[in-house]
Amino acid sequence: MNIQNSKILVTGGSSGIGKAIATLAREKGADVLITGRDENKLKAVASEIGANYLLADVAKESDIEATYNWIESNWNGEFDVLINNAGVGYRKTLDEVEWQDFENIFQVNVFGAAIMAKHAATAFKKMGKGNIVNIASTGGVKGYPTGTPYSASKFALRGMTQCWQAELRPHNIRVFLVNPSEVTTAFANPERVEREDVANKLRPKEIAHATISALEMDDRGFIPELTIWASNPF
């Protein structure tokens, strides 16, 4: 697809990977809507990169509906790409996990992503084309110590992605799964402060580059799953 003049929705777009994807998409001429839960951060990023913004939490179905109402009002119900980027997570050993941990993480990483994609698929079917990008994790390919709730959510997202690929290919809707390895963002930081770049670690811009590059492939093809590793993180 051609990113220029396309319309792209990025959830969790006010920081980290979401902000990097939104920034690169704007640099390539896309009209971008970023959503998130922190209005001050959304306003600042939208002003910085020239994007639209909407205060919306993917863990709330009413906010998801508000997002698609915005698209109906401002983009005539038509857009080209959903970037399912909003995500939460934290580390706990198995003997520390509680029921609520799964509720907290799955509300965003699984339930929210699925309902966002449901509405996008409805719009894309009417258009006869579209793109859904699910930002997952290498934790959704291989589990790790202290990763039980988070890794489970990303395994679920990976499984849902494969279901949607099977369902939506006949409608010319491409569904991508992007698995970043460790990235220096505010993710899992209780203060939600962005971490400093580390020379041998991935930055959000590497994930943005991979995501936008995959989208730019001609619409006749797509990359079902893309995993990004740091070259030498050791």
135 within a domain of the structure (yes/no): yes
CATH of the domain at 156: 3.40.50.720
Mark out the alpha helices in 76-147 (DSSP H runs): 99-106, 113-127
Q: What are phi and psi of 133, to 5 degrees?
A: -115, 120
Centroid of chain to Cα 188: 16
Distance between CA atoms of 31 and 8, rounded to whole angstroms? 6
Chain centre to alpha carbon of residue 72? 21
- With a cut of 90, say whether residue 196 has pLDDT above it: no
151-177 residue pLDDT tens:
999 999 999 999 999 999 999 999 999
Residue 195 belongs to some domain of the structure: yes
- 207 burial class (0-12, 13-18, 19+ CB within 10 angstroms)? buried
| pLDDT higher than threshold 80 for residue 185 | no
Domain count, the chain: 1
CB 8 within 8 A of CB 80: yes
Give pLDDT, residue 188: 54
CA distances from 199 to 33, 107, 137, 154, 228 (A): 31, 33, 20, 26, 16
Determine which one of 53, 68, 90, 150 is catalytic: 150
Q: Considering the domain boundaries, does residue 114 fall inside one?
A: yes
pLDDT for residue 192 is more than 60: no
144 assigned to active site: no
pLDDT score recorded for residue 184:
84
Tokens, residue 33: 């809507």
Enclosing domain of residue 121: 7-228
Q: Could you give the C-alpha distances from 41 to 5, 13, 54, in angstroms and in order?
A: 25, 9, 11
Tell me if 234 is assigned to some domain.
no
Q: How many residues does the chain have?
A: 234
pLDDT, mean of residues 71-77: 98
Other CB atoms within a 10 A radius of the CB of residue 144 amount to: 11
Domain for residue 2, yes or no? no
CA pair distance 228, 178, nearest whole angstrom: 8
Per the model's pLDDT, the better-predicted residue between 62 and 187 turns out to be 62
Closest by alpha carbon to 208, among 5, 26, 50? 26
> Would residue 161 count as lying in a domain?
yes
